[in-house]
Amino acid sequence: MFKGVFQRSLNINGQQISHFYQDIDTSNKVDGKSVYYWTNKKNAANNCKNAQISELNNTGFVALISCDNITVKNLNLSKNSQGILLVNTTNSKIFNNIANDNGNGIHLSSSLNNILHDNNLILNHKGIYLDNSSNNTLTSNTANDNEGYGVHLSSSTNNTLTNNAANNNTWLGIILSSSSNNNININSICENTNSDIKIYSGTGNTGDNTCDNLNNNGNPVTCNTPCPTICGDSVCELEENCGTCPKDCGCSNQEFCNLSNQCQSKKQDNVSCEQNLECSGNYCVHGICRSSSTYCGDNYCDIGECRGCRADCDYDLNKDGIVVHDYNDLMTAYKCFLGIKNCDNYYQNWNLIKQEYDCFIEKDI
């Protein structure tokens, strides 16, 4: 009999069923929680038949070896080779469990007629792993963000996978190897790095799913419903562009997103423009690309040009040679605005008063 406290993990592996007949009782702990290692010979209620393991048991690890009609529910399991392990186990229900940071979240080996539903399996190497297991039902499970696969079927037949999510896994969403006659239908399998569904070997697998990348190896497994476009996933998809999703389809530093939502090379100085981002010099000044916010000689008197650009800003209205701090110029502009003084086109010209005021207070120097 094993007795001990496992601070990090409990690692259970074997090549055949007999390898899993171990005597490990609940005095063993994983992170202070009890290990439930049930077999039909040791440590199980009613010879591992018609029993339940739930949140009431303060559980750190669950293994069911040659058991029948066991319910495992509402557990939170982590840091083991498997969160929940079934070997040669039948007619059992595994539901509403969380299994994170394990080798396999849930692992079925040589097990039949079990139901897995509403389990949350993330950040494992594999979310759900079926090995030499048949006639099991997997429904409404979430196997996202795992380091390898969301769901892996190996040498497993006649299983049903419906309404599961296997998204954003580092390698594959759902993978089948040497597995046949499985029904994989109405699952969401999106944004997986290598492929959403990949069937290495096996025949007679069927189903239609929400997915994009598929290698069915001749099996009638399809992706007739495309994955929804997600802005912010670092993938520039066909439905996205630099205008609708700059996070995924952003332009380079030498480009800008034009009005057609396409990346275009930035314009050089003296080329017509509509906005600053079009210009390599970063300024669109009165419809022309420039390298600064003002341009002397464009016939526009802008803030910053009062003293330095007489070509654009000849606001010495009283012709006394003084431009800044000239109260008389300011009063002349005011009289022009009111029509008291005849100043050609300056009647009711608010911009003239504003510019004269800026010159008067020397705002642009």
The per-residue pLDDT string of the chain (365 residues; one tens digit each, 9 = 90 and over) reads 334 443 446 777 777 887 888 888 888 888 888 999 999 978 888 999 999 999 877 899 999 999 999 999 999 999 999 999 999 999 999 999 999 999 999 999 999 999 999 999 999 999 999 999 999 999 999 999 999 999 999 999 999 999 999 999 999 999 999 999 999 999 999 999 999 999 999 999 999 999 999 999 999 999 999 998 888 878 788 788 999 999 899 999 999 999 899 999 999 999 999 999 999 999 999 999 999 988 988 888 776 676 667 677 665 555 555 555 555 655 666 666 565 655 555 545 556 656 656 665 555 44
- Tell me: do 69 and 171 sit in the same domain: yes
Query: Is residue 64 in some structural domain?
Result: yes
Question: What pLDDT score was predicted for residue 235?
Answer: 79
- Measured in residues, the chain has a length of 365
Torsion of CA 65, 66, 72, 77, to 10 degrees: 10
DSSP string, 169-206: -SSEEEEEES--S-EEES-EE-S-SSEEEEE-S-S--B
Residue 253 CB-density burial (10 A; 0-12 exposed, 13-18 middle, 19+ buried) = exposed
Q: What is the SS3 assignment for 227? A: coil
- Tell me: do 218 and 323 sit in the same domain: no
Q: What is the pTM of this model?
A: 0.69
Number of domains in the chain: 2
- Tell me: do 214 and 353 sit in the same domain: no
**Distance in angstroms (rounded) separating the CA atoms of residues 50 and 39:** 13
Structure-token match 């439905």, residue found = 239
Query: Is residue 320 in some structural domain?
Result: yes
Query: Is residue 210 in some structural domain?
Result: yes
- Tell me: do 209 and 321 sit in the same domain: no
Q: What residues pair up with 283 in beta bridges, in sequence order?
A: 290
- Tell me: do 325 and 219 sit in the same domain: no
- Tell me: do 47 and 153 sit in the same domain: yes
Query: What value, to the nearest 5°, has the Cα angle with vertex 299 and ends 324 and 284?
Result: 105
**Which of 192, 225, 258 finishes a domain?**
225
- Domain containing 194 equals 5-225
Instruction: Name the strand (E) or helix (H) holding 35.
Output: strand 33-39
Question: What pLDDT score was predicted for residue 82?
Answer: 94
**Distance in angstroms (rounded) separating the CA atoms of residues 55 and 355:** 76
Q: What residues pair up with 64 in beta bridges, in sequence order?
A: 38, 86
**Which of 225, 251, 277 finishes a domain?**
225
Give me 183's structure tokens: 């029904």
Q: Which of 147, 97, 96 is nearest to 124 (CA)?
A: 147
Are 173 and 167 spatial neighbours (Cβ–Cβ below 8 Å)?
yes
Query: Is residue 56 in some structural domain?
Result: yes
**Distance in angstroms (rounded) separating the CA atoms of residues 270 and 297:** 12
Q: What are the CA-CA distances from residue 81 to residues 61, 77, 181, 184 (Å)?
A: 10, 11, 28, 26
- Tell me: do 193 and 336 sit in the same domain: no
Query: Is residue 36 in some structural domain?
Result: yes
- Tell me: do 31 and 170 sit in the same domain: yes
- Tell me: do 60 and 160 sit in the same domain: yes
Give me 364's structure tokens: 């642009």
Question: What pLDDT score was predicted for residue 239?
Answer: 80
**Distance in angstroms (rounded) separating the CA atoms of residues 272 and 285:** 9
Backbone angles phi, psi at 2, to 5 degrees: -80, 140
Query: Is residue 81 in some structural domain?
Result: yes
Query: What value, to the nearest 5°, has the Cα angle with vertex 143 and ends 76 and 89?
Result: 65
Structure-token match 């800044």, residue found = 324
Question: What pLDDT score was predicted for residue 95?
Answer: 97
**Which of 167, 192, 225 finishes a domain?**
225
- Tell me: do 216 and 329 sit in the same domain: no
- Tell me: do 177 and 63 sit in the same domain: yes
Query: Is residue 346 in some structural domain?
Result: yes
Question: What pLDDT score was predicted for residue 364?
Answer: 46
Measured over the CA atoms of residue 88, residue 89, residue 91 and residue 95, the dihedral's sign is: negative
Query: Is residue 262 in some structural domain?
Result: no
Q: Where are the alpha helices (DSSP H) in the chain?
A: 246-249, 327-338, 350-360
- Tell me: do 55 and 196 sit in the same domain: yes
Residue 88 CB-density burial (10 A; 0-12 exposed, 13-18 middle, 19+ buried) = buried
**Distance in angstroms (rounded) separating the CA atoms of residues 307 and 313:** 8
